[in-house]
Copies of this chain bind each other. A is one copy, B any other.
């Protein structure tokens, strides 16, 4: 076990760990990790896989993930251009935690929907 800096506390403003939470909290990042789970995919494939994402957001999110070392980008200089994206080991390691959250979502989805309905009907 390696020691951690005691300053790493997400409850403190400005702590860098909050940036990590932002990363995980991003909807598109989560979906792209899933879309790239096992296989390398092209830009256009991702655009189709992740329904509703705009070209702009896909590019933007892929850049951020590349910057964070979650995936690699490989461009082939040919015509037409071809660019492949694949998860790094770090990116792969994110799948398990996300899976746990996904399972939780599925398990509690009905409960939450019911709770919201009740809450809203009472407040109406």
Tell me which residues across on chain B come within 8 A of A105, comparing CB atoms.
17, 20-21, 24
Question: Whose C-beta in chain B lies nearest to the C-beta of A88?
Answer: B115
Pick from B10, B24, B68, B94: contact of A116, CB under 8 Å: B68
- A residues near B (Cβ < 8 Å) are 4, 8, 10-14, 16-18, 20-27, 30-31, 34-35, 49-52, 66-69, 90, 93-94, 96-97, 100-106, 108-109, 111-116, 119-120
Tell me which residues across on chain B come within 8 A of A96, comparing CB atoms.
100, 104
Pick from B18, B27, B104: contact of A27, CB under 8 Å: B18
Tell me which residues across on chain B come within 8 A of A13, comparing CB atoms.
51-52
Tell me the interface secondary structure of chain A in the complex.
helix
Given A14-B52, A24-B104, 16 further pairs, Cβ under 8 A: A4-B106, A8-B109, A10-B30, A10-B102, A11-B34, A12-B52, A20-B105, A20-B109, A23-B112, A24-B105, A66-B119, A67-B115, A67-B120, A69-B115, A69-B116, A100-B100
